[in-house]
Structure 1
Amino acid sequence: MQSSQAVTDHCNSSQEAEPASADQRLALALKELKDLKAALNAHAIVAVTDARGVITQANEKFCEVSRYSRDELIGSTHRIVNSGTHPRSFFLQLWKTISSGQIWNGEICNRAKDGALYWVQTTIVPQLGPDGRPEQYISIRADITQRKRAEEQALHLALHDALTGLANRVLLAEHLQRTLASSRRSRRHGALMLLDLDNFKDVNDRFGHSQGDALLCQIALRLLACVRETDTVARVGGDEFVILLNELDTDPAQASVHAYAMAERLRESLGSTFDLGGLLVPSTLSIGLLLFDGSSDGTEELMKRADMALYQAKERGRNNVCVFDPTLQASILSQTGLIDDLRQAIQRDEFHLLYQPVVSPLQQPQDWEALIRWQHPTRGLLAPAAFIKLAEESGLILSLGQWVLRAACEQLTHWGRVPATAHWSVAVNVSARQFLDPAFAARVQSVIEGSGINPSLLRLELTESMFLTDIEKSILKMQSLRALGVQFALDDFGTGYSSLSYLKRLPLDQLKVDRSFVQGLPGSREDAAITTTILTLARTLGLQVVAEGVENKAQFDFLLQHGCSAFQGYLFGKPMSAQDAASHFPPARQAIAGSE
């Protein structure tokens, strides 16, 4: 049994656990309400309006964000913070919702007293009277401006070029789609211009990529200065830009005139010198122009056609404006088909080499230039002019050049087995893309070792343009092959960017006078002066000279008289097969020449 003291203690503890008084409970509830209100005011923008939308209460957060005092807010409507961002229909729908007694949620962009825009996530709760109609509205808002700015920045980055701030390919496609739709409605034409900087790679190579980026930014500014605010300027590649002109004219002729005038204005604007921190850099521009209307094909097809026009502008010598022509499309498609065939031609063994003799003053062969031909299955025999440039642009020149090198070395091996032809050497043309390939020297060495030829019987013909980018690397590359015994010739001398400073440093064996100088001999004083100067220069540098394009005896006699030591041209033989080469210069005649 419990003691009397235990019972007393139990009664006392029970009394302490009894519920507090009504006043205490009210005080506790008021404190909790005050704490909740303080927390709400610290985070949320709160306002109460009457049924007409007139603000009757506004918390401190509303004043802080809107920059209006409470006295300015109370008695006004929310039009005081209307930013004009949303259409009238937006607010009509909002009022329709809350006036029917429903809660509205959404994002609103408001304008503060100082003009700054801010975004709020808003909930508006109607307070209904006895008749079920709203008597007042309580709006609770959270400031989401930072989030919206982050979203806008992310969207901007997704739709704009990071370097120049111009529209990127994605945004351009959207604008082009809208322009096409607008053109269908208004029947006004639009124009698409694809712009490409001429020789931009040279700027990067000579001055560095940071200067190249600075140039692109300046170009973007000039483009924006030339067009209207309603037009679109986009950067869609390294040095490739697009201009989209809209709402030109319903008459295609007038629209074309306006678009072409704009293209010329752009070309002239970007054709002047750019100042890159005191470094003056010239630049020119090639433009492909396409006029379109609402009936035109999709955006992808329009871009292809503008690209075709740009290709034609560059073909015409760059710094040009070319307007798209349907016949141009047929030509480009034909070339595209040729590239596809080119990819398969090596595997199908459709190429072969012809050889043109390089003769001595006694008109005996001392060297042969290997010249490629393509026996196309449907187009017949194609000369290099029909496919070499396509091979360079498509990157196929690396595999094609390697095939030529192997085939020429195999022929040297074959000639080497016959005493009468064992002394013949072969010259192989090397493209700029081949020579600039980091693996070029290793590839040549591999072919030499694989064929087992005497390296001194192989001559590689280079052009002056190959030495514009990095002369030091070029010299090292040549020296590594020269150490094996390989010889080098500078082809088409006098037609490129001739520089005596690099000419004396390059490990060359031979200069080849371009046929354009030989054709005018002996009658042209200018050609005669240039040719004799080259001959004198070569003798001073200890180089052999080959005159190309010798077609008649008068040219040969002039060159021989002025000390030329080797000759090439139709006077001595057209390009021929290896078998015909032996019959064209019989071994007996070669033996006599050798004994002399």
Structure 2
Amino acid sequence: MPIQDINKNEFKKLFEIAMDVAHVGYWEWDIKTNDVLWSRQKIEIYGEDADNYKPSFEKFLNVIDDETKEIVFKEIEDVLSGKKDFYNLEHKIKLKNGKVVWVHEKAFLVKDKNNKPIKMIGIVYDVTDKILAKEKLDLSNKYAKHLETHDQLTNLLNKKSLFENVDALIAKKEKFSLLFLDIDNFKMFNNTYGHIHGDLILQKSSEILKRLFSEDLLYRYSADEFVLLLDSSYDITQALQSIKLTFMKPFTVSGIQVKINFSIGISEFPKDANSTQNMITDANTALQIAKNMKNGTALFYNSDMGDDIAQQHFVLEELEKSVKNESFIPYYQAKVDSRTKAILSFEALVRMQSNSKVIPPNLFLGIATKNNIINDIDYIMLKKSLHQLRQWHDMGKKVSVSVNFTTGDFNSMRVFKLLEENSDLLQYLTIEVTESELMSLNMQELQSIDALKNLSIKLSLDDFGTGYSSLQYIHKLPLDEIKVDKAFVDKIPGHKKDEDLVRIIKSIADTFNLKCVVEGVETKEQIDFFSNLGIHTIQGYFYSKPVDAKTATKLLVDGL
């Protein structure tokens, strides 16, 4: 049968099928009576039961918000007035179950023989998937655009934005400062807890910085480096103080307490440079020198810093070669019983061997610490000291050895493996740790101290009294020994305050049943003073300077 011969009923049936397949609803609205006719599909799109639902124009208005109502009425008015040929809208509706659905409604006007509008006939279909896909695409494009100027991890402005904004500031020819911030010892956090934890520290640090400074002044430059741009309205000294005081307070990341410091390098426009690259280079130069000083150092750039950087790079290269070749060597300084002159133990002090020269620690330890090489050095020193200790014991010299630990050593797997391999020597091993290092230990590292004690290792608090919280560590930690710092020894005898301080330290040691060692002793008068106090374990040049293993062995054999 030719298609033009399809009768009205057949066409209506085909129309119904098409509406079902396409999930398109049909509707009519009588303009005079306000009555409506909705097809089953439209009722279902509107979230209702087609068998029991009686549609009305009011019910349609109930599922759209006030803003959409205004748009609908405006669209109807435009169609009725002849401004538009079709009613054509996309809008959202809220179903009775609370779900929000987007629909597209399109309709035309039916007029009587007098050209008066009598009804509107239209279709509706669900376009929620299309709208959500478009929103997702728009959001994705917006995020991609955002990432052109912002760092993905911290949501701070990125390096590209930094260069553009410094260019703009220089073009204005107004004074400003560029502060390069670097988290001290950040590699240690990554090595200890993993990179995910390190990322969380970066995020938390950026959040804290955003509480101090406007977001448009802060940039993440790379890894653990941030940049702060401050115009002349800011007092740089106050800004630095604000950063320092804020980050003195530890914060918690994934249940772990973290305390960080920033080393900071500062360049100023136009005093130091007149280009973006030079501003960044100068601030970075100052930063590199600050990083090789004590934690939390801030330095303003000056033109003499280039030579210092070259020297530091040379030392760093030597350090990296020495780690690879394990060419660090222990020098041993004796701890002596002043009553018998017997050597009780040795402290292993690090030296670096380079081109047949022995380099003292003051020339490289700071750089090693700032560049996260210190734990490698500690491991090499522990390894060589245990080897030497075994040689002395094989000779029948049951002397002890103390080694220095820093943050990151206490829960190092390779350190514990090495200790387990030398378990028979551990009762003769003392670990010395300074108060400043103890303060930077996290909870897990403090707990690792108990594990070390269970291996029969002794724990000594070095440089006692030079900080401000020694007593809390004596109370909390399983210490065996405290060492009186050289700073309190130099003016003894004859300096009452230092003498009184040492008496207090000795009293504390007695109270907690701790051994007391004095370091930096150089005169017979000092020996007599400490002997009268009942302190007989002495370390210092009076008995022996730090010496190589061969000389230390000779001291053991021949005596002092």
TM-score class normalised by the smaller sequence: 0.5 to 0.7
Inter-partner Cα distance in structure 2 for 1:408 and 1:581: 12
1:296 to 266, 275, 278: 275
Summarize the Cα distance change of 1:547–1:354 in structure 2 as closer, same or farther, 3 Å threshold: same
| 1:489 equivalenced with 2:460 (yes/no) | yes
SS at match of 2:283: helix
Inter-partner Cα distance in structure 2 for 1:369 and 1:335: 28
| 1:446 equivalenced with 2:451 (yes/no) | no
| 1:478 equivalenced with 2:478 (yes/no) | no
Give yes or no for contact 1:224–1:233 (8 Å, CA) kept in 2: yes
Aligned to 2:88: none
Summarize the Cα distance change of 1:559–1:574 in structure 2 as closer, same or farther, 3 Å threshold: same
Inter-partner Cα distance in structure 1 for 2:466 and 2:184: 20
1:225-374 map, 5 Å: 225=214, 231-235=216-220, 241-244=226-229, 258=232, 261-262=235-236, 264-265=238-239, 267-268=241-242, 271=245, 287-291=264-268, 296=275, 298=277, 303=280, 305-313=282-290, 321-348=298-325, 350-362=327-339, 363-374=341-352
Taking structure 2 as the reference length, the TM-score comes to 0.65
Aligned to 1:435: 410
1:151 to 140, 144, 156: 140
Summarize the Cα distance change of 1:513–1:73 in structure 2 as closer, same or farther, 3 Å threshold: farther
Summarize the Cα distance change of 1:65–1:384 in structure 2 as closer, same or farther, 3 Å threshold: farther
Give percent identity, aligned residues only: 26
What do residues 183-222 of structure 1 show as CA deviations (whole Å, max 9, x unaligned)? 67555565432235789999x99xx999979964753443
Give yes or no for contact 2:244–2:296 (8 Å, CA) kept in 1: no
Give yes or no for contact 2:170–2:274 (8 Å, CA) kept in 1: yes
Summarize the Cα distance change of 1:24–1:405 in structure 2 as closer, same or farther, 3 Å threshold: closer
Give yes or no for contact 1:288–1:313 (8 Å, CA) kept in 2: yes
Give yes or no for contact 1:397–1:434 (8 Å, CA) kept in 2: no
Corresponding letter in the other structure for 1:370: A
Aligned to 2:37: none
Q: CA deviation at 1:511?
A: 1.9
Give yes or no for contact 2:292–2:366 (8 Å, CA) kept in 1: no
Inter-partner Cα distance in structure 2 for 1:347 and 1:212: 30
| 1:576 equivalenced with 2:541 (yes/no) | no
1:25-424 map, 5 Å: 69-70=74-75, 146-147=135-136, 149-155=138-144, 158=147, 159-160=149-150, 166-167=155-156, 171-179=157-165, 181-182=167-168, 191-195=177-181, 216=205, 219-225=208-214, 231-235=216-220, 241-244=226-229, 258=232, 261-262=235-236, 264-265=238-239, 267-268=241-242, 271=245, 287-291=264-268, 296=275, 298=277, 303=280, 305-313=282-290, 321-348=298-325, 350-362=327-339, 363-377=341-355, 380-418=357-395, 422-424=397-399
Inter-partner Cα distance in structure 2 for 1:215 and 1:271: 16
1:457-536 map, 5 Å: 457-468=428-439, 469-470=442-443, 473-482=447-456, 486-500=457-471, 502-504=473-475, 506-536=477-507
RMSD: 5.3
SS at match of 1:427: strand
Q: CA deviation at 1:497?
A: 5.0
What do residues 417-443 of structure 1 show as CA deviations (whole Å, max 9, x unaligned)? 445xx1333222222322242443332
Taking structure 1 as the reference length, the TM-score comes to 0.61
Inter-partner Cα distance in structure 2 for 1:442 and 1:416: 21
Give yes or no for contact 1:288–1:311 (8 Å, CA) kept in 2: yes
Give yes or no for contact 1:193–1:290 (8 Å, CA) kept in 2: yes
Between 1 and 2, higher relative CO (CA 8 Å, sep ≥ 6) is seen in 2
What do residues 497-524 of structure 1 show as CA deviations (whole Å, max 9, x unaligned)? 5444542564443221111111121222
Inter-partner Cα distance in structure 2 for 1:416 and 1:403: 20
Inter-partner Cα distance in structure 1 for 2:553 and 2:364: 29
Inter-partner Cα distance in structure 1 for 2:446 and 2:502: 29
Summarize the Cα distance change of 1:76–1:392 in structure 2 as closer, same or farther, 3 Å threshold: farther
Q: CA deviation at 1:528?
A: 0.9
Inter-partner Cα distance in structure 1 for 2:72 and 2:237: 49
Give yes or no for contact 2:330–2:351 (8 Å, CA) kept in 1: yes
Give yes or no for contact 1:354–1:575 (8 Å, CA) kept in 2: yes
Corresponding letter in the other structure for 1:403: I
What do residues 534-577 of structure 1 show as CA deviations (whole Å, max 9, x unaligned)? 22222333332211001112211111111002111111121122
Q: CA deviation at 1:465?
A: 4.0
Q: CA deviation at 1:585?
A: 6.7
Corresponding letter in the other structure for 1:386: L
